[in-house]
Every structure is written in C-alpha cells, then in structure tokens.
Structure 1
C-alpha cells in the first residue's frame, strides 16, 4: 500500500513542476527594441574595424542554448522549422560536462580539466580566439542577455523577475555562460572587456548595423532552456531569432549562424548536441540538408581559422580528430577534413577525469601549447608575450592528487558568495565561486590522447 501511494505521488511530480514553471514571455517588444527587462542600459553602439573578407563568410555568430538531448531538440517545432533554412550537423558533440568547461573550450581550445561550474579567471598568458581575431583586425563581441553592465565580471546577477512580477528577483545572468569573460587575457585589456555587452547593446548595434564580425550570444537562464525547458527555449527562438534572420543588419549576405547547445542532458550517453548552421552565408542548395561529419565545439574555432586564414592556439583546435571544419566552409577554403569513423568518435561525456591545471584531483600545471601545430587557417600558433614555452607535454610532471594531500591548485584561491536567487547551476555545478588565477602556460594535453590514457587505466 505504501509503495503504491509513493508511486502515485511520484507520478504527480512532473505535473506539479510543470504547473510551477513560468510560461515564456518576451523580454522586449521586438528583438531590436531596448527593454528594462534586459537589466543594463545600452552603452551606445560598437565602433568596429573595416570588414575583413572571409572565404565563406564575413560574419560568424554563435548562439548557445542549454542542456538538451539531441532527440529532444530535433522533435521541437521551432528547430524543425529552422532546419528548413539551414544545415543540420547531425554528428556534432559537446566536449565534456558540465556547462562551463564547454564555454571555456569554444574560445580557448581547451577546458583545462575543469569539471565544475565555479568561478574561474584563466591566466593572462592563456590565449583565445580573441587574440587570433585581433591579429587580423577582425571585430568581435559577446552579447549576454541580462548582463547588468558592459564588462561585468561577477559570478552571476539577480534582477527583477519580468516573467512573474509577484515572484522574488531571479538570477537570469551567470558568468559560466560567458566564455570570453573567463580569460584574463581578455578581461585585463579594457578595450576587450568593454566588448562584453547586454541585449540592450545588441538592439542598438543591430539598429546601427554595428554587429561585429565574430559574436557569441547567450540568452538568459530561462530563455536558453537551462532553468525552463526546450519548449520555452523554442518559444524564445521564434520570438528572437526567427525575425532577425530576415533583418539584413543581423543576417547579411555573408553571415553564418551556429545554433547549438553547450551539452546534452544525459550523462550516460555520448555528448551529441543538436546543431544548425543558419544565415545567408549557407548556400541555398544546402538548405534543409544534413551534414554527418564528426564535429565538436572545437570545430567552431577551426572553422573561423580556415575562413580568415588565421593562426591557431596550438591546442584542441589543431587536433584534427576533434576539430573538423564545417564541410561547406572546408570546401570553400580547400581544407581537408578527417573522416572519423563512428567507432572512433571519442567519448565526450566524461566529467572531471582529465589531467590538467583546473583539476585538483589530477593536477598538472598549465603547459605550453604545441608550437609546431598547424591549424585549419595555416597561420602560426599565437604566442602570448608572457608565455613560457619551456614546460611542455614532453617534460610535464606526473599528475598529482592535491585533494588527497589536502591541498589546492597552486594559485590564488578565494571563495565568494554568489548573488541571491537561484544560480541555476547546471548538472554538476559547484555551490560557490572559486577564483583561480593560476600563473602558467597553456595546456596542450591532446584530447584523444587523454581519452586513450584513461581507457588504459580502466
């Protein structure tokens, strides 16, 4: 009898949660309008350098949603409609769990063995895609919905709940979903820090035709599906992205838009995420087609490098197994992708098991990148002015379990309280904000090599 009542109660839980979940409501009248719901006021429009022509596109926009299994997205009406306008990348994978390491990886070429969603400041001698773009005078920006002020570096931010005026304030913005803010090589340069902007800035930039050539766009914690659902995120896409696809100030003739997810929601399966290539740079004959090539978040780096003949970071962006260039871009640039057989696709759903400088259980210092690597753009590996190239994979020390020794990574570590309200940590999130400001050089532990080593020890 007791078991029967318990089962009946469990069956009611989804219905109760669904009743409590907020319904989607747009934060602004239209995507190009300013709104008090976006928290921060606009800081004017961006001033960008002249357009640098690319071989397949002149503008690259990434839009990331949250924590959704491939099939759940594929069966949503908004994604089915958008697929008709672009290319489905049916074999695209996130690189780890939980959320934050994926964001760090997509701009830095590595996630440094990070296995949580804590507060990180990755050292200033660790380069990112920003270094590669600025070396060629290619403009860039990060647009974060509900970012309170341009360049805000806090762990999260709580503001009025525009979805429910009778509810307490809500944490709509989190640092962990803002990839370039994680790197001191970006935030310690004032002109770079100022390019972290909110959606009021975005509206101003679209209206002024000032969207830069490379953009990363993160909706808030409800609109990206993290604290809501895939249906909620789909409603946001129909409100926000669908009309912008017809706005030439956003989607001009040479704009490529990557719509994807940071990770899937099921840790027990490999980390495939639903990904679409949209925008007018996609050839019309490829609309509503499927590309089965194996890609990961590192492919966003290699694709940009190939398009503008950039240098590389000498990390996973140059590991051909995990950094194939999007096929239509590879064809336009003459880049030869690697044919990765289904049986050879690495497991990318592993969490906290990699050797690296941000894993106290398997700590290895930051290492120099592979300085002899050649990326998809053909240019040299970017070398930061304060980069020590002497510590490499060839002479790296063995991993150390600092946790077992009751030690932390050799860095300045402090704990700060997060803002009030639900921080909405993703699966596996830490509860506090750990400030890591380690000094060292960039990690070049090969992704596939780490996986192989792990398999040998199991």
Structure 2
C-alpha cells in the first residue's frame, strides 16, 4: 500500500513557488488597518477571562509555506529571530502538500488527504476548538486578506497591492485556514465569528483584546508560497519583529510558534525550520537549540499539557509523534519519547496513507481512541453523534474507489450550483478540479453499506 520515496518524487518532485513579486509592506504597521488587507474590521473581539496555564497564558502559531530547513536556517531574518528564541531543529511536517498539514495541527489527523481541494470535515469530528472552549480558553484564527469574518469560500481574489498595474491576485486561500475546514467549527456562528482578517487583528491588538490561542496565516505571497523565503523574511521584519516588542501581543506569558507547513523538497524527510519565541521563553534558553523530535501534532499536545486539556484521541496522543515542547514538558512533568535516527518516521510520503479523504485507499471516518491518554491527562473529547462502534480496529479494509469507478462521498465539481453561494463565488479552478465534501451520511460500495460516522 505504501509507495517508495522515489515513486513519490517522480510525481511530486518539489512544491513549486513563484518569485515575480517584490515585497512591499501591506500596511503602515502591524497594528494599523489597511485597504490592502481586504475587508474592514468587524469590531473588537470579546473574550472570556484569562485562564492561566502552566508555562504560558497565550499561544500563537504563525505558519509559513514550503521551505526546506536549511533554506530558512541560513536566511538573515530567521537567524536573527533564532537568537531571541529556541530553534527546534528536529521538527517535522506530517505529509505533503499543504492542506493536510493544516487540518492535522488542529484536528489531530489529516484523514488520508493528499491534495489541496475544497473539503469540509463532518461536524462530529472534533478539533482543538472543542478542547479550548471546554476550559473557557479564548481563541481566534487571523487570516491576512480574508475578505470578511468567517468567509467560507475556496479562495478570494483582490487588488494586487504589490503591483498597481497588474491583474487582481488571489491572496487568500481557505486551505491555510484550518479550523474553518471542520464543520464542528464552520457550522457554529459563534465559532465562525472568530475567523478574522488582519484589519480585525489590528483592532484587537489596539484594544488589548487578543485571545489566548491564535492561528495566524499570512497571505499567499507573504508566507513564501508564491514567492521566496527572502520575501517571507521581509514580511517577518515588517510584521512579527515589531510585535515582539509590543506587550499587547507578546508579554511574559506568551509563547509563539513560528513554523512552516512542509518542506519544499519531497525526496527527503519532511524537516522544517521552527522557532519558539515570546516572553514565555526564559532568557537562559534564548539562542539555544532543542533537538527533541516534534511534529505538527506537538502543537496540540503542548497546548493540552499547558492547560490540562482533554485530547482528541488521534495523532495528538501518538506518543512517538506528539512530544511536548521541552520548555513546557519540563514545567508540566510530561515525559517525552526519545525518537532519534532511524526511529524518526518518514513523513514525506503523500497519497499513501489510507483514510476517509483518500480516494485510492478509502475507509470511513472513525471514532477517536477513547483509551488514549493525552499530554493534558484529561479524557478524550467525543462529540455528540459519534458512532463509537466504528473504530480503527473495526473499520473495513481500505477500498480503492478509483479502481471501482467511484469517487469520495459527495465529490462535487468546483462550479457546483448546489453549494452555498459563499463557497462558489470567488472560487478558482486552478490546481483542483473537484471539491471534496466529506459529509456525514451513508456510502454504499459494491453492495456494502458503511456509516461515515
């Protein structure tokens, strides 16, 4: 079932990036509103009282795109930032390409996905949002160039602020906005309202109203996807570096994760340059390196350990792949696994992992593992409506739907008129020919009937 690295490389040699842009600041400062961000502020976010954590009270993830470890590590801005924090030099993405890494870091699994299509994941599949809200911990997703709060569309095209004479450009893509991909978030209006753009971010900083858990995605040029690592470095100098000196963003209880979704080269294992920054990093650890093995699941397990949260019973409880950042493990007493050398899993393979979003090795969504013990020592969160009888152990063998002339459940063309208008409008067909709409329901395959959840 698993293909070789060489076979993967033949199909996906590298993740491509363009470099036709010259960097220009999208605003006068990170805390100033701008027409370049697309969409005015929706007002200031209202949050619950601060819930104290063991090692930090605020966790900020900032994701960049498609860069090999050495390329980032040798770039000036990243070298300068490394002096202010901890370099995690054995940090690995989970797969290729982008979208499955994003959905995994908030949901504990990428469910076999190996593309960047429009998908939505059933409402009884839980995320970190469920865990945070169970402890009244505030959260938000800040997406540069998202047009409106809670925008559901596949992407959004707006004025090219980098070149006034150029055609409009697609700066926002939903595949980099992971919590919106889960129906357990996108179908709840109060949760949708916590998906905000950078004008909202500026308003929230100025009002000292930033939440405790944040996922930050620059637009598709500032994150290096359509540009270069040097372009992203200039964005960091404009946006992040000033904010590190702003106590409304970064106080002595703030931990910032600066990372990449995946490496650019698919033929080597998926190591990505990652830094821990912020006031929660002790002075004695600034400029140091932590060589513990981490993956994107570690962002989940670290938050769980810090606030004593429940777990999702998925990759976040895989002891090999969900080590807690040592900075936090040392405070909470969590015992990390020693994973080195040949024991480090290969996570650069793509298309080979079975799951409900893999048309070539499909099986239905399964219940979380309620016997698992997460880093927060809490119970496993189970959403209402989960079929607890359908577990990994009891799931059917993966089926190649392509060979049977079938597709994933409810696969719709990108121009499908049956979808909400917010999905269809401003949707580009480049790079994807279908929307994978992974809903709850029943699928019949060759006479057998499977409950999707």
Q: TM-score, normalised by structure 1?
A: 0.89
Instruction: Give the C-alpha shift of residue 290 in structure 1.
Output: 0.0
TM alignment of 1:209-220, pairs within 5 A: 209-220=208-219
2:25 is matched with which residue? 26
State the secondary structure of the residue aligned to 1:46: coil
Q: Is the 8 A contact 2:47 2:211 kept in 1?
A: yes
Q: Is the 8 A contact 2:411 2:434 kept in 1?
A: no
Task: Summarize the Cα distance change of 1:22–1:167 in structure 2 as closer, same or farther, 3 Å threshold.
Answer: same
Instruction: Give the C-alpha shift of residue 253 in structure 1.
Output: 1.3
1:68 is matched with which residue? 67
Task: Summarize the Cα distance change of 1:440–1:381 in structure 2 as closer, same or farther, 3 Å threshold.
Answer: farther
Once residues 441 and 228 of structure 2 are traced to their aligned partners in structure 1, the CA distance between those partners, rounded to angstroms, is: 40
Q: Deviations over 1:251-306 (max 9, x none)?
A: 01100000000000000000000000000001110000000000000000000000
Task: Summarize the Cα distance change of 1:214–1:433 in structure 2 as closer, same or farther, 3 Å threshold.
Answer: farther
Is residue 2:269 matched to residue 1:270? yes
Q: Is the 8 A contact 1:415 1:433 kept in 2?
A: yes
Q: Is the 8 A contact 1:367 1:440 kept in 2?
A: no
Instruction: Give the C-alpha shift of residue 440 in structure 1.
Output: 6.7
Q: Is the 8 A contact 2:223 2:232 kept in 1?
A: yes
Once residues 46 and 193 of structure 2 are traced to their aligned partners in structure 1, the CA distance between those partners, rounded to angstroms, is: 11
Q: Is the 8 A contact 1:170 1:421 kept in 2?
A: no
Is residue 2:159 matched to residue 1:160? yes
2:439 is matched with which residue? 438
Once residues 121 and 198 of structure 1 are traced to their aligned partners in structure 2, the CA distance between those partners, rounded to angstroms, is: 21
State the secondary structure of the residue aligned to 1:120: strand
2:83 is matched with which residue? 84
Once residues 369 and 440 of structure 1 are traced to their aligned partners in structure 2, the CA distance between those partners, rounded to angstroms, is: 18
5+ residue gaps, structure 2: 1-16, 416-423, 443-453
Q: Is the 8 A contact 1:171 1:421 kept in 2?
A: no
2:411 is matched with which residue? 413
State the secondary structure of the residue aligned to 2:191: helix
1:179 is matched with which residue? 178
2:382 is matched with which residue? 383
Give the 4+ runs in structure 1 shifted more than 2 A: 417-423
2:6 is matched with which residue? none
1:306 is matched with which residue? 305
State the secondary structure of the residue aligned to 1:62: strand
**Could you say what the CA RMSD is over the residues aligned between the two structures, in angstroms?**
1.5
Q: Deviations over 1:328-382 (max 9, x none)?
A: 1000001000011211000000001011000010001111111110100000000
1:144 is matched with which residue? 143
Instruction: Give the C-alpha shift of residue 420 in structure 1.
Output: 6.5
Q: Is the 8 A contact 2:65 2:223 kept in 1?
A: yes
Is residue 2:326 matched to residue 1:334? no
Q: Is the 8 A contact 2:39 2:148 kept in 1?
A: yes
Instruction: Give the C-alpha shift of residue 21 in structure 1.
Output: 1.6
Once residues 393 and 138 of structure 1 are traced to their aligned partners in structure 2, the CA distance between those partners, rounded to angstroms, is: 31
Once residues 93 and 27 of structure 1 are traced to their aligned partners in structure 2, the CA distance between those partners, rounded to angstroms, is: 30
1:279 is matched with which residue? 278
1:324 is matched with which residue? 323
State the secondary structure of the residue aligned to 2:389: coil
1:292 is matched with which residue? 291
State the secondary structure of the residue aligned to 1:97: coil
Once residues 24 and 324 of structure 2 are traced to their aligned partners in structure 1, the CA distance between those partners, rounded to angstroms, is: 37
Instruction: Give the C-alpha shift of residue 419 in structure 1.
Output: 6.5
Instruction: Give the C-alpha shift of residue 191 in structure 1.
Output: 0.1
Instruction: Give the C-alpha shift of residue 433 in structure 1.
Output: 4.4
2:111 is matched with which residue? 112
Once residues 207 and 332 of structure 1 are traced to their aligned partners in structure 2, the CA distance between those partners, rounded to angstroms, is: 31
1:403 is matched with which residue? 402
More helix, by proportion: 1
5+ residue gaps, structure 1: 1-16, 442-458
Once residues 303 and 160 of structure 2 are traced to their aligned partners in structure 1, the CA distance between those partners, rounded to angstroms, is: 37
Q: TM-score, normalised by structure 2?
A: 0.90
Matched positions, count: 418
Q: Deviations over 1:29-87 (max 9, x none)?
A: 00000000000100001000000000000000000000000000000000000000000
